Homo-oligomer: A and B are copies of this chain.
Amino acid sequence: MFVRVERGSAVPVSRQICEQIRAQCLSGALPPDSRLPSVRQLAHELAVNPNTILRVYERLAAENLLEMRHGEGTFVATVLPLDRMESQRALYADELNRVIRQGRMLGLSRGDVQKLIDEAFESAETQLLSSGTRQ
């Protein structure tokens, strides 16, 4: 599993983690019934409090994306609500709009922003590939 927290971000870390895991469940990057890192392990990896991870897992379990099995671990649900994908992507478009506008407001030209985007694509490929290998 690949999760990365941006410390300075306005988005609370728990929401960052939540959204990343949710995206990976819905997109199939995390296959159904696969096991997630334990609460403590992920907390340690990301250097956050175990309670924070626990609440993320609980929230996603309440959404029927994860299943917490006492004493066993936490797993991607076997039956995923497929229609959730839609709304996720709609929200994502909003997010993109906000960020693009933000760039223009910072006085960056369309070309400047696009250049940063291209760099972001490259670094994303690298990270996601390496995590895919790691998993």
Q: Which of A59, A88, A91, A101 has the most C-beta atoms of chain B within 10 angstroms of its own C-beta?
A: A101
Q: Which residues of B contact A91 (CB under 8 A)?
A: 8
Number of copies: 4
Of B19, B71, B96, B125, the residue contacting A10 (CB under 8 A) is B19
Q: Is the CB of B116 within 8 A of A117?
A: no
Q: How many residues of A contact B (CB 8 A)?
A: 57
Q: Tell me if A6 counts as interface (CB < 8 A to partner B).
A: yes
Given known pairs A9-B95, A110-B121, A116-B93, the reply for A101 and B4 (CB within 8 Å) is yes
Q: Is the CB of B92 within 8 A of A120?
A: no
Of B29, B59, B102, B108, the residue contacting A95 (CB under 8 A) is B102
Q: How far is the CB of A129 from chain B (nearest CB, A)?
A: 10
